[in-house]
Structure 1
Amino acid sequence: MGDRDRNKKILLELLKEGENSRCADCGTADPDWASYTIGVFICLNCSGIHRNLSGISRVKSIWLDFWDDDLVEQMRTHGNWMARKHYEANVPPFYYKPQASDCVVLKEQWIRAKYEREEFTDIVTEQRESPISELNATFQPEKIGNPNGLQITYLKDGRTRCMFVYHKNGKDIVDWFNAIRAARFRYLKIAFPTTSDTEQKEPFKRRWFTLDIQDRKLLYFKEPLDAYAQGEVFIGHSEYGYNILEGLPPGVKGNKWNLGITIETPERKFVFTCKDTQDLKEWIVAFKEVIFKPMCLQDYTVEASLRRKQR
């Protein structure tokens, strides 16, 4: 047993320590749930996934549930940092780690891979990949109309080609997603040996635009499920004349939406509108992540290739 108020106070203090202040699985700030069998602090959404890990994870609310002394001690001696060192000891650089805003299938399979299948506690076996430079994938459940919907892009005859696939099994579709990332990662390590092992980002997407943060390209489409992108815009570093401005240029009005973003490149300006303030803020954050990210040799190659196509 234990003292309810005292134990809650201890748990709240533990939440302030290091990595405990963010969800162990998706990074959401101020998690208020915990898996006492694993010893990690997690957010409400991830706690729902943990409930389905029968015999592996048992969860409690920090604020609403009663905590026995032994469970509090379990949380004290473990925590997010220790769990990450064990369960994420050998996550391959290509493997995508979901964020709070990502779709459910990505988060569920990440959690199952870590705690249920323990895929990253031992050395990951080498995977077979094909060296292909322009292959990429992003989850698009709303666009495709399926919770496990995946958009795959690649170059065909100098144009970006799109394929839309889904699978009834969440693990299978996430395995395909990470296999594509593995193939791309292996190619880049061979073609550009100086490429770092930093985590690859999933493309940022909304409606008929996709921002490929990895290749610094903004793709736009006439219709959501178009096979080919209508156009591509390279987003370079701010030092080279690239900039992101909130708002529309003077005299320009949106057709349906008046919230706008202006993308400045050395050659021209691009303008598009957003439906609401939240959409606007998310796009600006994503664009700024690109323009302030240092360019590597691969980026210069992508930029030169796009410029040749636009001549």
Structure 2
Amino acid sequence: MILSLSCTFFFRLLREQWIRAKYERKEFMCVERQEPYSAGYREGFLWKRGRDNGQYLSRKFILSEREGVLKYFNKHDAKEPKAIMKISSVNATFQPAKIGTAHGLQITYLKDNSTRNIFVYHEDGKEIVDWFNAIRAARFHYLQVAFPGSPNSELLPKVTRAYIKEGYMEKTGPKHTEVFKKRWFTMDERRLMYFKDPLDAYARGEVFIGCKQNNYTVLSGFPSTVQGSHWQFGITIVTPDRKFLFACETEEDQKDWIAAFEAVINRPMLPREYAVEAYFKHKP
């Protein structure tokens, strides 16, 4: 439900800013009024959610296509950034329902090969859309350099991406005797991440979902020996190393999650995804 609300808001926000750009700001008629989305550099202030206290504070952000990074600073006059995000792993998606504030944007990147979430917003819809478009432009430039000769039709879907599915499920531990705990799950490409809270900066854990050719399978229900779940609609993910057990609140949620897992498992793995799988297998 949250995913569909976010997608609806995303298209509504972009449509609104497109209409305003054309009829209100006259950007289509006057070149000098057009936003330099592909200029390769953007600097400004966004409200960022604190990792530990959840408080939103104004933070300075700089996007540099030349350096290939997006960075932010804890203090307006700080010389060194608090975090540096490589454009190669950055993703941005509108998440107003999850964040609970207008024009909310979720930015993710890989830090030590784990997903780091950053939640930001701006009061002005145009400003947050401009940041979103600037990130997309920087990502597109990176992909053109990283994959020379690839047609735009192949690169554009990789610029930014919506999550395959998000929502609550219950999970148990590797012994299948541990108490089932309610967690927020996010399916991002082949990474299934779970969080105690949807706005956590880091996942409590990540599960790699491979393909059926490599012995990954999704099953409806639990093994007969499993007990203790509060929610009754079970899902079993079979991997070459172990089984992961999840429980859904409703049968509809169960069917939706199984469909999402099947879509990923039935898709052949790309060469770069084998490297991700190898990391998960040797993860400390």
Give me the TM-score of the superposition, normalised by structure 2. 0.61
CA spacing shift, 1:230–1:125, aligned 2, 3 Å: closer
Which amino acid in structure 1 is aligned with residue 224 of structure 2? Answer: P
CA spacing shift, 1:173–1:292, aligned 2, 3 Å: farther
Which residues in structure 2 correspond to 1:65-76 (within 5 Å)? none
Identity across aligned pairs (percent)? 50
Shift of 1:235: 1.2
Which residues in structure 2 correspond to 1:1-311 (within 5 Å)? 102-112=6-16, 117=21, 126=38, 128=40, 129=65, 130=68, 132-193=87-148, 196-197=154-155, 199-200=157-158, 201-203=161-163, 204-207=165-168, 208-213=184-189, 216-253=190-227, 255-308=229-282, 310-311=283-284
CA distance in 2 between counterparts of 1:136 and 1:254 reads 37
Cα distance per residue 1:130-172 (max 9 Å; x no partner): 2533222344334322243332222223432221222223343
CA distance in 1 between counterparts of 2:215 and 2:39 reads 40
CA distance in 2 between counterparts of 1:249 and 1:117 reads 56
CA contact (8 A) 1:105 1:170 kept: no
CA distance in 1 between counterparts of 2:248 and 2:234 reads 6
CA distance in 2 between counterparts of 1:198 and 1:254 reads 45
CA spacing shift, 1:206–1:177, aligned 2, 3 Å: farther
CA distance in 1 between counterparts of 2:258 and 2:136 reads 25
Structure with the larger helix share: 1
Greater alpha carbon shift after TM alignment, 144-153 vs 188-197: 188-197
CA spacing shift, 1:156–1:100, aligned 2, 3 Å: closer
Shift of 1:113: 5.4
CA spacing shift, 1:259–1:228, aligned 2, 3 Å: same
CA distance in 2 between counterparts of 1:306 and 1:190 reads 28
CA distance in 2 between counterparts of 1:106 and 1:234 reads 28
Aligned to 2:173: none
CA distance in 2 between counterparts of 1:289 and 1:261 reads 15
Q: Which has the larger radius of gyration?
A: 1
Shift of 1:229: 1.2
Which amino acid in structure 2 is aligned with residue 219 of structure 1? Answer: M
CA distance in 1 between counterparts of 2:87 and 2:251 reads 38
Shift of 1:101: 5.5
CA contact (8 A) 1:192 1:297 kept: no
Which amino acid in structure 1 is aligned with residue 187 of structure 2? Answer: L
Cα distance per residue 1:218-247 (max 9 Å; x no partner): 111123322211111111121111111122
Which amino acid in structure 2 is aligned with residue 151 of structure 1? Answer: Q
Which amino acid in structure 1 is aligned with residue 240 of structure 2? Answer: P
Structure with the larger strand share: 2
> Does the residue aligned with 1:168 lie in a helix, a strand or coil?
coil
Which amino acid in structure 2 is aligned with residue 157 of structure 1? Answer: D
Which amino acid in structure 2 is aligned with residue 169 of structure 1? Answer: D
CA distance in 2 between counterparts of 1:268 and 1:178 reads 41
CA contact (8 A) 2:143 2:155 kept: no
CA contact (8 A) 1:257 1:273 kept: yes
Aligned residues: CA RMSD: 3.3
Residue ranges of structure 2 left out of the alignment (5+ in a row): 29-35, 41-64, 69-85, 169-183
